[in-house]
A and B are shown apart, each in its own frame.
Chain A
Amino acid sequence: MTISSRSGSPGPDAAEETTVIPVVPAQDGADETTTLPPIDVPVLEDEEFEPQADRDATFRPSRAGWAARSAVWLVLAWFVLAFPVNFLSPFTLGVSDVSAASEAAIFAIVGLSLNVLLGYAGQISLGHQAFVGIGAFTSAYVVVDLEMGFWFAVAVASGLGLVQAAILGAVSLRLTGLYFALVTLAFGNFAQQTVFAIPELTGGEGGKEAPRPAMFDSDYSYYFLCLGFLAVVLFLDWRLTRSKAGRALQALRENPRVASSYGINVKAYTLLAFAVSGLFAGLAGALMAHHDEVIVNQKFGFQLALLFVLMTVVGGLRSRSGVVIGSAFFALLHSGHLLSLLEPVTQTIFRFSLVDFITGTIGLPIEFVALVIGPILLLLTITMYPGGIGQQIAPIREWMLGRRFDRHAGKVTEVEVNDVRA
């Protein structure tokens, strides 16, 4: 067969002239199995170069290695699935802790949403709280005012998130990155001051009710609902990066010229990234509304937008596990639960009260801890570990996936990408 899957046969006049080109008609369905005919391609002089990447390709863990990895996986599963509901747990967590865990899962969805834009498409959004907020109020509105079901409300909120993000994305196509950041900032400001101030939508100062469906009324079941949605989002994100859309985004982020010469419609795929990001954000908003049960518009201020950017970047752009951990970390830090969870640990082990230290010695109220520590972590991340948490945990992640433990895995060596001269 030829390498061409299109009817790559040359023009009629030329075909008569030649006999050298083996044009074998493409056989339907059999394409995967046929190999290309061996042809004699002259080998160019190889420069001295030792391939590095294939070295560990044959590595398989030993039996003990598999056992250790399985044990770690089990602990992780226990931590996510059983620990919050006090199953087989040495600690006893209250309902508010589970609620905080739900919020962590929701923040993780937001983080993944922002990661699609910031990490995959290379577009910064400083107005992401607007997408989330509009999703939240839409879902509440659909459930309370339109008296429709919860699942329908979630779908509407996600859909609206998709549409508004796509519209904003259409604007971004006409602007360069930095100017677009300004537009998102203005959009967030507009949503906060104008849209969220419409009392019919947001219930004004007192907030808007957003009841949960009967099945997920308890904080425990709601946690698993959030976890389920997070799993779905993770799956979609995984497939996004492993399919043609993810490759297209990677190419256009790094070099739009090369991307388009590969046949990628740069504009369409940028819009697709916005749509996916908006979908996730709307979904997270809906979950957030029904998580809080009463959703207040003050929640969606500019600081929340910055917190979203912070947790995504600190988590590590383009690293799913990093973004999830970073988002959960900041969600817990933000609500103060991280400290109260760590408190018994530091009390018993170090005989030292972390909370007393921070509020007393340093004089920092718990609610501002995230605000002070977060930016410092952010600045440390971008100046010293551009890969964020994702970079730090990469060796462990690789190990858990059955590869060799490599301290240097996941090192982010950003190559300066010059625009291709064209």
Chain B
Amino acid sequence: MNLPLYEQLALALTAGVLRGAVYALVALGIVLVFRGSGIFNFAQAEFGTTGLFAAYWALEIKGWGYPTSFLFGMGVAIALGLLTERLVIHPLRDSSRVTLLVGTAGVALAAIGFQFWWFNETLVMSMPKINEAFFMTPWGAVVTVQELITLGVLAVVAVGLALFFRSPSGLAIQAAQQEPVASELVGISVRRVSMLTWGIAAALGGLAGILAGPYLTFSAGFLSFGAVGALLPGFMAAVLAGMRSMPGAVAGGLLVGCIEQLSSLSILDGAVPGAGALVLFVFLLGVLLVRPQGIFVGKVATA
């Protein structure tokens, strides 16, 4: 690594934005759930891994086509999200926040356990990309088409969510979140809104998982703390967004990706092992202690 610094910087930022797209998808789901029910959803990333495992199973074991497998994976992720809402979140709705947090962590662990169980023979899996092509940027970064697809999906999802929250059902969700009792009175089913929230969040997780899975090899718990450990960065992005703002979550995800990659600069690398984790830890502490209300909060958290 004896490239000039600016070139390293360009490489790091490219990698950071691409990786950050995955974080942003996870962060969107986290923000959505937090706005809906005030819960830190530690199962968010595992919705993704479970969806990825389902897609992998459909594609590699069953031999279904890529689109079918993709949809199947999404379906499984959404089903897991809805099951979580029904079986864990709903029964615990009156419990303390910490209990709920332990509950979602339990869901994550259970999902990881079942992933192990499902594929206990193949410990490391790899899934083909949607498009295997890649190219090189003028500054020497290798960019795969798959990563660009993820970035594109993120953009579409972000715009889609913004539009959705201006539609009648989106407004109903917001109303139910802000005034549950009053909403119930005017005929909005808070229960259905909660299901909808978790369903959308799980779908976002599923997207992140199935799109990021082919980047590298994967195994159980992949999206939480595997090769693309997006859980912690996703939470950091959500914190940057003040846990409320959707555009903030996107911006936060990209920023966290870049910051993490900056630690691979040669001036830092080698000095400490695992500099990425160190940088993320310090960054999270800094944000929480200096600006706990977040950075990318926007004027009002409407979209």
Contact of A175 (CB < 8 Å), options: B110, B120, B221, B288: B288
* A376/B98 contact (C-beta < 8 A), A187-B281, A194-B273 known: no
Assess whether A193 is interfacial by the CB under 8 Å rule: yes
Contact B109–A371 (Cβ < 8 Å): yes
CB distance from B292 to the nearest CB of A (A): 7
CA distance A149 to B194 in the complex (A): 58
Asked if B63 is at the interface of the complex by the 8 Å CB criterion, the answer is: no
Name the residue of chain A whose CB is nearest to the CB of B225. Answer: A302
A319 is an interface residue with CB less than 8 A from chain B: no
CB-defined interface of A386-417 with B at 8 Å, one 1/0 digit per residue?
Answer: 10000000000000000000000000001010
Contacts A189-B280, A372-B117 hold; do A182 and B235 have CB atoms under 8 A apart? yes
Q: Separation in Å of the A124 CB from the closest CB of chain B?
A: 5
Q: Which residues of A contact B102 (CB under 8 A)?
A: 124, 309, 313, 378, 382
Q: Is B94 touching A189 in the complex (CB atoms < 8 A)? A: no
Whole-angstrom distance between the alpha carbons of A185 and B224 in the complex? Answer: 11
Shortest CB–CB separation between residue A49 and chain B, in angstroms? 26
8 Å CB interface, A186-213 against B: 186-187, 189-190, 192-194, 197-198
Query: A375: which B residues are within 8 A, CB to CB?
Result: 106-107, 109-110, 113
CB < 8 Å: which of B117, B231, B276, B281 contacts A363? B117
- Chain B residues whose C-beta falls within 8 Å of the C-beta of A416 in the assembled complex: 94
Interface size on B, residues (CB 8 A): 49
> Chain B residues with Cβ under 8 A from A193's Cβ?
273-274, 276-278
Neighbouring B residues of A414 by C-beta, 8 Å = 95-96
Whether B241 sits at the interface, judged by CB under 8 Å, is no
Contacts of B284 in A (CB 8 A): 182-183, 186
Query: When the two chains form their complex, are residues B106 and A189 in contact, meaning their CB atoms are under 8 A apart?
Result: no
Residue from B95, B224, B273 whose CB has the most chain A CB atoms within 10 Å: B273
In the complex, which residues 30-60 of chain B have their Cβ closer than 8 Å to any Cβ of chain A? 40
Would you call A379 an interface residue if the criterion is a C-beta within 8 Å of the partner chain's C-beta atoms?
Answer: yes
B88 part of interface (Cβ distance < 8 Å): yes
B272–A301 touching, CB < 8 Å: no
CB distance from A310 to the nearest CB of B (A): 7
Which B residues form the contact surface with A (CB < 8 A)? 40, 87-88, 91-92, 94-99, 101-103, 105-110, 112-114, 116-117, 120, 221, 224-225, 229, 231-232, 235-236, 239, 272-278, 280-281, 284-285, 288-289, 292
Having A192-B274, A194-B273, A372-B116, one finds 14 other A-B pairs with CB under 8 Å, namely: A177-B97, A179-B288, A181-B101, A190-B280, A194-B274, A301-B225, A309-B102, A365-B120, A368-B117, A371-B116, A372-B113, A374-B113, A375-B107, A379-B103
Q: List the 4 closest A-B pairs by CB distance, nearest first.
A: A193-B274, A375-B110, A197-B273, A193-B277
